Structure 1
Amino acid sequence: MQKENNEEQVTIRFAEQKDLSLILDLIKELAVYEKMLDEVVATEESLNENLFEKKMAEVIIGEYRNEPVAFALFFPNFSTFLGKPGLYLEDVYVKPEMRGIGIGRKLFTFLANLTRERNYGRLEWVCLDWNKPSIQFYKKMGAIPMDDWRTFSMQGNALENLADKF
């Protein structure tokens, strides 16, 4: 696919049920990029249940000349200090060959506008510390790294073991 440096060719849309295989493919591409493919256990069925039936999260698709080349998955969180919801961006991915033409910026602009439209207090996400190009991109947009904070996660056996102690 030949690309032009023209953001006019980029469109952002909400994903639909018919996009399930596309969403899963993009998730797997992201996982390959992050060297975490072995951690992907999502299926079209689990995505359908949680995205479209239970509406636990939303997905937007970035297209270049009507070809899907990017996605972002997000959901609301809540800030106790602000006393209002925020938008948490779980994953954002632009195919490597499509980077540098404004697709990422359009995804974030769309999400910033959605955050404002919904009267949410902030848009936030995490980034792997080795992903220097993304960190530079985020800073260039005006994002502020929260270096004093550490992200913690619990899943699998650790989660089960703690839950069993209740």
Structure 2
Amino acid sequence: MSIVIRPATAADGETFLSLVDALADYEKLDRPSADARERLIRDAFGPAPRISVFLGERDGTAVSYAIVLETYSSFLALPTLYLEDLFVIPDARRFGIGSAFFRFLAGEALRRGCGRMEWVVLDWNQLAIDFYEKLQARRMSEWYTYRLTAEQLREISGEG
């Protein structure tokens, strides 16, 4: 069995979108709309990428993906590699793909000069929580995640 983690290219667009669909199905969420799918492809592979996408392959078949982007820590004065998604299709779990992906992403953070890597996990996803704790990742209990929707942004900005 061979595991390869690599940057996705525009030629991988449909594979990437199928893995995003698989994550939506796993989390019992709606799949991205046609407009969202276009934005995902543009933001990953367009002339001004906003995200980096990586694929994990087992024996030549893509079975996982990750989306990362950089944020910035004013106190470290260094970028942070933010992991938006890391998903391994359920049938491909338990073969070391998640661990290989995390090792790869840790190296990617170092290659980019990041001072840390961060992500969030759903409170019901005990498999992921156990995986991250096995890696000795620390759950940040002192931070709360807040969100404003697009509608709220328009209202607050006065553009709505």
Whether TM exceeds 0.5 here: the answer is yes
Query: How many residue pairs end up in the alignment?
Result: 157
2:147, 2:3 → 1: CA distance?
A: 34
> What's the secondary structure of 1:149's corresponding residue?
coil
2: CA distance between counterparts of 1:116 and 1:55? 20
2:69 counterpart letter in structure 1 = F
Matched, 1:93 2:87: yes
Deviation of 1:134 (Å): 0.4
For residues 165 and 149 of structure 1, the distance between their equivalents in structure 2, rounded to whole angstroms, comes to: 30
- Partners of 2:42 and 2:61 lie apart in 1 by 25
Q: Tell me the residue number matched to 2:30.
A: 37
- Please, which of 49, 58, 62 is the counterpart of residue 55 of structure 1? 49
Note the C-alpha offset of 1:51.
1.2
Query: Residue 99 of structure 2 aligns to a residue in which SS?
Result: helix
1:64-103 Cα distance to aligned partner (Å, 9 max, x none): 0000000000011101111110100000100001111110
What is the CA–CA distance in structure 1 between the aligned matches of 2:159 and 2:3, rounded to whole Å? 50
Shift of 1:156: 2.8
Letter in 2 for 1:35: K
Give the equivalent residue in structure 1 for 2:8: 15
| Paired amino acid for 2:110 | R
Whole-angstrom distance in 2 between the partners of 1:26 and 1:110: 19
Root-mean-square deviation over aligned CA pairs = 1.5
Cα offset, 1:47, TM superposition: 2.1
TM-score (norm 1): 0.89
Correspondence for 1:82: 76
**Alignment map for 1:105-144 (pairs within 5 Å):** 105-144=99-138
Instruction: Decide which moves more: 148-157 or 106-115.
Output: 148-157
SS at match of 1:37: coil
SS at match of 2:6: strand
Alignment partners' CA distance in 2, 1:21 and 1:68: 11
Deviation of 1:165 after TM superposition, in Å, equals 6.6
1:149 aligns with 2:143: yes
